[in-house]
Amino acid sequence: MALREILKTSDNLETLRRISREVEVFDEKLFALLDDLTDTMLKANGVGLAAPQVGILRRAFVISLDGKDFYEFVNPKIIFEKGMQSDEEGCLSIPNQHAYVKRPRKVIIQAYDRHGEGFELTAYDRFAVAVCHEMDHLNGILYTDKIDTELTERMEKKLKNKRKVIEGTEVLTTSSEENAGASNARSNNKNNSSELSSKGEQT
């Protein structure tokens, strides 16, 4: 097992834009690639990492939302999508950036494990986001191609307002309840997303 260098769009956009080929041989080389992807993802506090992100143009990626359950996907296909969600995403290949992206809420994915055994898996919510994000990497697509601009701008504005509320000490009584309620709602949101961030939101 070893750490591999994560390619960044700033230096390796051309590679990251290429379409990866199917894995044909399920051998030690593949095991090493998958192990390295997991190690590299964990080291970078990510929740997912795809082979092309370490310069290997093969259809394989790993995901772990919580650092406890680990998933490996080889030659994956999304065979079913349902619903819609818009959540914040980042990418280890595009450091220090986040934006909201529209994704299906539920996906069913067919793939192979490292031994060439086929399996089917249903992913919801953040797991579905991660699957779609990594799947896109195999096709040279980046989350920045799919940004929900309207929501991203709205959330950025909200964060700015929240900072103002925290910085300001004087608040009118009438609006303070409103502000308290609003900032509670916002801090709930923030807690959720910081929980995700602390576990590594970038994929």
- Helix axes 173-198 and 149-167, enclosed angle (nearest 10): 120
* Binding region for Co ion (CB under 5 A) out of 77-85, 88-96, 164-172, 188-196: 88-96
64 vs 203 by CB, closer to Co ion? 203
Smallest separation, CB 131 to Co ion (Å): 12
> Does position 203 bind Co ion by CB under 5 A?
yes
Within its chain, how far is the Cα of 4 from the centroid? 19
What does the block give as tokens for 91?
């990418």
Could you tell me the smallest distance in angstroms from the CB atom of residue 92 to Co ion?
Answer: 6
DSSP-derived 3-state class of residue 84: coil
Out of 72, 88, 134, 201, which one is annotated catalytic?
134
Q: Rounded to an integer, what distance in angstroms lies between the CA atom of residue 70 and that of residue 72?
A: 7
Residue located via tokens 């097992």: 1
Residue 20 interacting with Co ion (CB under 5 A):
no
CB of 154 to Co ion, least distance (A): 23
Who contacts 31 (Cβ-Cβ below 8 Å, separation ≥6)? 114
DSSP class of residue 198 equals H
**What sign results for the dihedral spanned by CA atoms 177, 181, 186, 191?**
positive
In the complex, the smallest distance separating the C-beta of residue 136 from Co ion, rounded to whole angstroms, is: 8
Residue 5 annotated to the active site: no
* Interface stretch with Co ion, choices 18-26, 73-81, 91-99, 103-111 (CB under 5 A): 91-99
Q: Applying CB under 5 A, does 54 fall inside the site for Co ion?
A: no
Which one among 33, 91, 123, 132 touches Co ion, defined by CB under 5 A? 91
Q: Which residues bind Co ion (CB under 5 A)?
A: 91, 203
Catalytic residue positions, numbered: 134
